[in-house]
Amino acid sequence: MTTAQTTVDYKLLPSDLIQVRVFQEEDLTREVSVSQDYTIALPLIGSVDVRGRSLRQTEELVRQLYDKDYLVNPQITLVVMRYAQRAVNVMGSVNAPQAVPFPPERGLTLLEAIARAGGFSRLADKSKVRIVRTDDKGVNTTYTINVDRLIDGRSSSSWPLQVDDVIQVPENFF
């Protein structure tokens, strides 16, 4: 994700609370939470799999499911009422090591996360900052970044982060 993520293409995640509105069918309007297995339960159509779907893709899927057997040309609106808690962890030689909240409406870069964790401590080795990223299968990938190059503009990447990334800032041993 190199550009800011908008709420239109926001991918639903477990614990998101969404409101599903069916125009002129108030009895079908619900606030539902996305389950840990990426489903939502709605009247008449039952369990709907939202894994890997954006808000708008889910809206279209729900429309199709209601249109198939229950309603004629239904108008469906989905709104995120509350985003699930998301964070990246910043550890090591920063002034305030912590879990940094990940804004759902846009991304977060490596430098932004470090800044939100109080910036580098005076002992930080900025040339060997690591990002540990775990994929859907539980496999870890570690990236080592020379943040000095980011700061002075010698790197073309801003290192956009993903939810649950772990940033490790080592100490510089003289």
* pLDDT single digits (tens) 72-94: 999 999 999 998 888 999 999 99
How far apart, in whole angstroms, are the C-alpha atoms of residue 91 and residue 98? 7
Query: CATH class for domain 7-82?
Result: alpha beta
87-169 placed in CATH 3.10.560.10:
yes
What average pLDDT does the chain have?
89
Q: Which residues does 169 contact at the CB level (< 8 Å), separation at least 6?
A: 90, 91, 92, 93, 94, 114, 120, 121, 124, 125, 126, 129
Nearest-CA neighbor of 43 among 13, 12, 21? 21
Q: How confident is the model at residue 13 (pLDDT cuts 50, 70, 90)?
A: confident
How far apart, in whole angstroms, are the C-alpha atoms of residue 62 and residue 56? 10
Dump pLDDT digits (tens) for 96-120. 999 999 887 778 899 999 999 999 9
Domain chopping of the chain, boundaries: 7-82, 87-169
